[in-house]
């Protein structure tokens, strides 16, 4: 006698209870507070905000806790929450030129107006495990200095003044929003940049790296990388002017790339652009390289078949929530389809065996 | 904006809109079938059915063309307050509403493109009455054939001839509505 | 001010009816009407991020959420079964967010959301069948580029599909597609019926409204009742809906689609109906297969 498997509902409830227990881990170890994640796992929080497309460090920290540290799962939680939020307005464009920089470096000039600021970076740490961190202890306070009031003009702005880099015309056009309109191709640069800033960091990194290795190479220099806080302003119609409603941390990368030009047009450097929530340097640089690779058509370059040049390929595959959902859905039962293939393969094999036997008999 | 503009919407939007949409969906899936809807109390002369369709379907993303005498302040205000839909000429309209003669000519509306035939206008035609007699309809959604009191024949035949491009129609009278998608073949009886 | 208040809902309501906000529902509803007006054409829609993963029915769930009314009775099946975990999960989602009645009986349901099957019992005029679709583009595995496939549909250029099917015949002696078998709608659009076994293809012309939702791929398409649906084939190789030979071990049905169940490690196997409600209905009516429990048993 056979009874089909039942009890899907109870299995799900039990799985959820078990999952909650696993998330908590050994109850003898103190539980993580959301504030601890927010303050001490900041770069994870930043990544969740960037790819979740929602600037809220507390919610991102909560999502990381709930997701047991699985950042893609945490990004998913934030995305699903974000989509339920009402849209009460749109901000003015943020002025990254007026950023209060914690870090600001240029690879194209030895020194720049406003100065190079190394800031809180892993760059020159020796990657040696610090066993002192295993013992709980306070870190010595870092040296402080008064904020440098000198303006930090954009490096690309300096090049632009001399006509050495392509001019990026200002626009007041409302950019498209791929979370509200279905994605269509060809996709303009604003839409591509939105897709890139939300894209999976690993995917963006891989794509950018491929351009460096020759798949759509575009000779990038980091013209400037800046990290810091900018004000977010919203125009209040009743007041007739914009008020600052918040301050957010951003990483911006502007690359200066191989020049374009012709007999009639003198050569000029070109641009790649990356802008990401929080301190997300790897992502911002990757984004700028991929942005530049995707601009081949606008700049009259050849399509060499490189994946990073292919906007449909990049945009369609960079979203880790789409990708991981579809990848993992193959865990779901597919036995009906498998059964239909099983029948097909059996029949074709039987027919092949029969005709082989026929041939043999005829010989 | 007078008080009338602020009233006449759904009392319980999620539920009423769901019920009215089901009627619209059924009508579009079964061309010629007449459904009843309720919920909107728009300013005259807009019918309950046409007003309800607009509440269910129109919003700031869908320019609406008010044809002929419907283009009056109290209807404009009502539409803007309840849906946020911008007003539009025929060419830019996602929805157009009015009596048949006021909606013409049909070639002024967007028919969609070969790549995106869905980007075409939907016309809401206000009628004095609706019944299952008159033109003979066949095609998707219809098992054998269905009758519907259409305002004319040839315009709908010409519309069908452009398939997959074309306009889609709702017909409204009082609380009743029926639909005629571009896929339906229309013949005079 | 709570979120619910900002959205204009009654205070205390955790979710708006059927989860989606009204603006999203309007956008999906408009897409559904255009999909019905151009049967088989894939309408792009701004699919929302749902609280379940892409690939797990987000398209079907959004379509169901846009068509459900408080009076509906919902049935959810995956692989034909009401009790598979993802079907249970989606049914629970709508019970929680829409407070609607649910059923496992095909005949009692007004809206049926399905993954990979069409129920065995013929659907009726009052019903809506909502399909979860992973890859809505029937040409996708022949041409990965959306820009290209869109042009092919616009120009009704389906030669590539026929070449593929013909190559199957040359290599295997028959068309080697067992599920998601492509169909042509009213002589115009080639459509993916979602990954249903080709056994179900003949049922695609039916009395109920069929709606297809692909969340990740942002597409909605539809078949109005009685729409002409032709499975692609060749005169000398006509379409044949296939299924496992044999009868259901529980209810004895010889005409329903069967799942193969491996019962031991010595090659033993049995077949049971994939449509669990259909099978239960037959058993309730007294039909017995060879491995069914006796009357009064489990």
Over its C-alpha atoms, chain C yields an Rg (Å, rounded) of: 20
3-state secondary structure of B124: strand
Cβ atoms of B96 and B50 within 8 Å: the answer is no
Task: Indicate if the pLDDT at residue C282 is higher than 80.
Answer: yes
3-state secondary structure of A336: helix
- For residue C151, the tally of other CB atoms under 10 A from its CB is 14
What burial letters (b/e) apply to A246-276, b meaning 16+ CB within 10 Å? Answer: eeebbbbbbbbbeeeeeeeeeebbbbbbbbb
> How confident is the prediction for chain C on average, in pLDDT?
91
User: Residue C16's closest CA among B15, B19, A76?
Assistant: B15
Smallest Cβ distance to B14: which of C16, C30, C38?
C16
Cβ atoms of C211 and C222 within 8 Å: the answer is yes
Question: DSSP code of A185?
Answer: S
pLDDT for the residue numbered C293: 64
Smallest Cβ distance to A332: which of C86, C117, C276?
C86
Query: What residues of A are in contact with residue C47 (Cβ under 8 Å)?
Result: 182
Mode of pairing for the β-strands spanning B95-99 and B146-148: unpaired
Greater pLDDT, C243 or C11: C243
Distance from CA of A234 to the nearest CA of C (A): 19
Q: Is B141 on the interface with C (CB under 8 A)?
A: yes
Q: What would the pLDDT profile of C180-206 be if each residue is shown by its tens digit?
A: 999 999 999 999 999 999 999 999 999
- pLDDT band per the 50, 70, 90 thresholds, residue C5: very low
- How far is Cα C280 from Cα A205, in angstroms, rounded to an integer? 53
DSSP C188-234: TEEE---S-BGGGGGGGS-SSEEEEEETTTTEEEEE-TT--EEE--B
Residues counted in chain A = 363
pLDDT for the residue numbered C3: 39
Distance from CA of C284 to the nearest CA of B (A): 33
Question: DSSP code of A344?
Answer: H
Q: Look at B115 and C154 and tell me if their CB atoms are within 8 Å.
A: yes
Cβ atoms of C48 and C20 within 8 Å: the answer is yes
Task: Give the domains, in start order, of chain B with CATH numbers.
Answer: 3-187 (3.40.50.11310)
Q: Is C205 on the interface with B (CB under 8 A)?
A: no
Catalytic residue of the set C59, C80, C213, C273: C273
pLDDT for the residue numbered A151: 85
Tell me what the mean pLDDT of segment A71-99 comes to: 92
Distance from CA of C164 to the nearest CA of A (A): 17
State the alpha helices, DSSP H only, in B30-183: 48-57, 73-83, 100-103, 154-161
Cβ atoms of C232 and C162 within 8 Å: the answer is yes
pLDDT for the residue numbered A85: 85
pLDDT for the residue numbered C206: 98
Q: Is C270 on the interface with A (CB under 8 A)?
A: yes
Task: Indicate if the pLDDT at residue C11 is higher than 60.
Answer: no
Kindly list the domain boundaries of chain C, sorted by start residue.
3-231, 243-290
Q: What would the pLDDT profile of C89-121 be if each residue is shown by its tens digit?
A: 999 999 999 999 999 999 999 999 999 999 999
- How far is Cα A279 from Cα B112, in angstroms, rounded to an integer? 45
> How confident is the prediction for chain A on average, in pLDDT?
91
Residues counted in chain B = 189
- Whether C248 sits among the annotated catalytic residues: the reply is yes
The verdict on domain C3-231 having CATH code 3.40.50.11310 is yes
- Whether C213 sits among the annotated catalytic residues: the reply is no
Smallest Cβ distance to C224: which of B17, B29, B56?
B29
Q: Look at B164 and C189 and tell me if their CB atoms are within 8 Å.
A: yes
Q: What is the ipTM, given to two decimal places?
A: 0.97
- pLDDT band per the 50, 70, 90 thresholds, residue A233: very high
Kindly list the domain boundaries of chain A, sorted by start residue.
13-82, 96-120+148-318
pTM for this model (two decimals) = 0.92
Tell me what the mean pLDDT of segment C202-223 comes to: 97
Query: What residues of C are in contact with residue B57 (Cβ under 8 Å)?
Result: 26, 29-30, 33
Q: Look at C18 and B25 and tell me if their CB atoms are within 8 Å.
A: no
Task: Indicate if the pLDDT at residue B165 is higher than 70.
Answer: yes
- How far is Cα A185 from Cα A52, in angstroms, rounded to an integer? 23
Q: Look at A183 and C218 and tell me if their CB atoms are within 8 Å.
A: yes
Share of chain B above pLDDT 90, in %: 95
Q: Which two tokens stand for residue A140?
A: 């010595």
Q: Look at C33 and B15 and tell me if their CB atoms are within 8 Å.
A: no
Distance from CA of B62 to the nearest CA of C (A): 10
Task: Indicate if the pLDDT at residue B154 is higher than 60.
Answer: yes
- How far is Cα A47 from Cα B4, in angstroms, rounded to an integer? 50
Tell me what the mean pLDDT of segment A212-219 comes to: 92
Q: Is C77 on the interface with A (CB under 8 A)?
A: no
pLDDT for the residue numbered C7: 40
Q: What would the pLDDT profile of C34-65 be if each residue is shown by its tens digit?
A: 999 999 999 999 999 999 999 899 999 999 99
User: Residue A227's closest CA among A156, A280, A300, A289?
Assistant: A280
């Amino acid at each position: 006698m056979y009874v089909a498997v039942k009890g899907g509902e109870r299995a799900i409830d039990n799985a959820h209870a078990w999952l909650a227990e696993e998330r908590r881990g050994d109850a003898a170890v103190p539980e993580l507070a959301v504030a601890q994640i927010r303050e001490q796992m900041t770069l994870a929080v930043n990544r969740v905000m960037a790819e979740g497309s929602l600037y809220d460090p507390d919610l991102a920290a909560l999502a990381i806790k709930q997701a047991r540290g699985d950042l893609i799962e945490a990004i998913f939680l934030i995305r699903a929450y974000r989509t339920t939020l009402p849209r009460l307005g749109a901000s003015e464009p943020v002025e990254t030129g007026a950023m209060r920089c914690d870090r600001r470096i240029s690879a194209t000039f030895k020194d720049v107006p406003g100065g190079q600021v190394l800031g809180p970076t892993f760059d020159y740490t020796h990657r040696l495990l610090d066993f002192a961190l295993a013992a709980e202890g306070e870190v010595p306070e870092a040296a402080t200095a008064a904020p440098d009031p000198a303006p930090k003009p954009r490096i690309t702005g300096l090049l632009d003044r001399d006509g050495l880099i392509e001019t990026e015309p200002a626009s007041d056009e409302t950019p498209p929003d791929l979370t509200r309109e279905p994605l269509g191709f060809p996709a303009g640069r604003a839409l591509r940049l939105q897709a890139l800033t939300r894209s999976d960091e690993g995917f963006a990194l891989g794509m950018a790296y491929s351009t460096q290795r020759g798949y759509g190479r575009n000779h990038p220099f980091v013209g400037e990388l800046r990290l810091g806080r900018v004000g977010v302003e919203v125009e209040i119609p009743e007041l007739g002017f914009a008020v600052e409603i918040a301050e957010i941390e951003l990483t911006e990368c502007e690359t200066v790339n191989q020049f374009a030009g012709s007999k009639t047009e003198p050569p000029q450097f070109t641009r790649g652009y990356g802008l990401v929530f929080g301190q997300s340097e790897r992502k911002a640089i990757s984004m700028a390289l991929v942005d530049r690779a995707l601009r081949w058509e606008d700049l009259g370059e050849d399509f060499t078949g490189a994946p990073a040049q292919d906007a449909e390929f990049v945009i369609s595959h960079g979203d880790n929530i789409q990708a991981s959902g579809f990848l993992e859905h193959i865990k779901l039962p597919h036995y009906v389809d498998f059964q239909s293939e099983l029948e097909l393969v059996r029949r074709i094999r039987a027919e092949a065996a029969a005709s082989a036997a026929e041939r043999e008999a005829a010989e | 904006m007078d008080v009338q503009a602020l009233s006449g919407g759904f009392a319980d939007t999620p539920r009423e809109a769901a019920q009215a949409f089901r009627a619209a969906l059924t009508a579009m899936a079964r061309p010629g079938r007449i459904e009843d809807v309720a919920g909107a109390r728009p300013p005259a002369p807009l019918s309950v059915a046409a007003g309800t369709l607009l509440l269910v379907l129109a919003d700031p993303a869908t320019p609406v063309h008010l044809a002929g005498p419907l283009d009056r302040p109290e209807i404009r205000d009502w539409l803007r307050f309840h849906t946020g839909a911008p007003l539009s000429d025929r060419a830019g309209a996602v929805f157009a509403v009015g009596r048949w003669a006021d909606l013409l000519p049909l070639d002024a509306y967007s028919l969609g493109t070969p790549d995106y035939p869905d980007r075409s206008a939907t016309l809401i035609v206000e009628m004095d009455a609706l019944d299952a007699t008159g033109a003979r309809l066949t095609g998707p959604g219809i098992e054998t054939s269905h009758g519907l009191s259409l305002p004319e024949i040839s315009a709908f035949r010409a519309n069908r001839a452009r398939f997959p491009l074309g306009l889609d129609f709702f017909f409204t009278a009082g609380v009743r509505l029926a639909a005629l998608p571009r896929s339906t073949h229309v013949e005079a009886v | 001010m709570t979120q619910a208040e900002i959205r204009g809902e009654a205070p205390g309501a955790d979710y708006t009816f059927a989860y989606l906000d009204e603006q999203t529902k309007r956008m999906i509803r408009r897409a559904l009407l255009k999909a019905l007006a151009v049967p088989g054409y894939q309408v792009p829609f701004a699919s929302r991020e749902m609280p379940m993963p892409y690939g797990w029915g987000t398209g079907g769930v959004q379509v169901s959420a846009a068509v459900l009314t408080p009076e509906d009775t919902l049935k959810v099946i995956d692989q034909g079964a009401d009790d598979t975990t993802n079907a249970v999960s989606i049914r629970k989602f709508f019970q929680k967010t829409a407070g609607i009645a649910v059923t496992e009986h095909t005949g009692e349901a007004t809206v049926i959301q399905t993954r990979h099957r069409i129920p065995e019992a013929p659907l009726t005029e009052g019903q809506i069948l909502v399909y979860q679709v992973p890859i809505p583009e029937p040409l996708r595995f022949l041409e990965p580029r959306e820009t290209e496939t869109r042009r092919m549909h616009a120009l009704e250029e389906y030669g590539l599909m026929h070449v593929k099917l013909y190559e199957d015949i040359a290599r295997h002696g028959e068309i080697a597609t067992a599920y998601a078998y492509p169909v042509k709608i009213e002589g115009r659009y080639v459509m993916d019926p979602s990954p249903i076994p080709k056994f179900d293809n003949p049922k695609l012309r039916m009395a109920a409204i069929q709606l297809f939702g692909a969340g990740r791929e942002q597409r909605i398409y539809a078949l109005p009742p009685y729409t002409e649906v032709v499975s692609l084939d060749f005169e000398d190789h006509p379409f044949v809906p296939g299924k496992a030979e044999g009868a259901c071990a529980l209810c004895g049905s010889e005409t329903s689609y069967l799942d193969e169940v491996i019962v031991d490690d010595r090659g033993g196997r049995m077949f049971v109906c994939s449509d669990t409600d259909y099978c239960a209905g037959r058993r309730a009516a007294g039909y017995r297969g060879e491995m069914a429990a006796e009357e009064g048993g489990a």
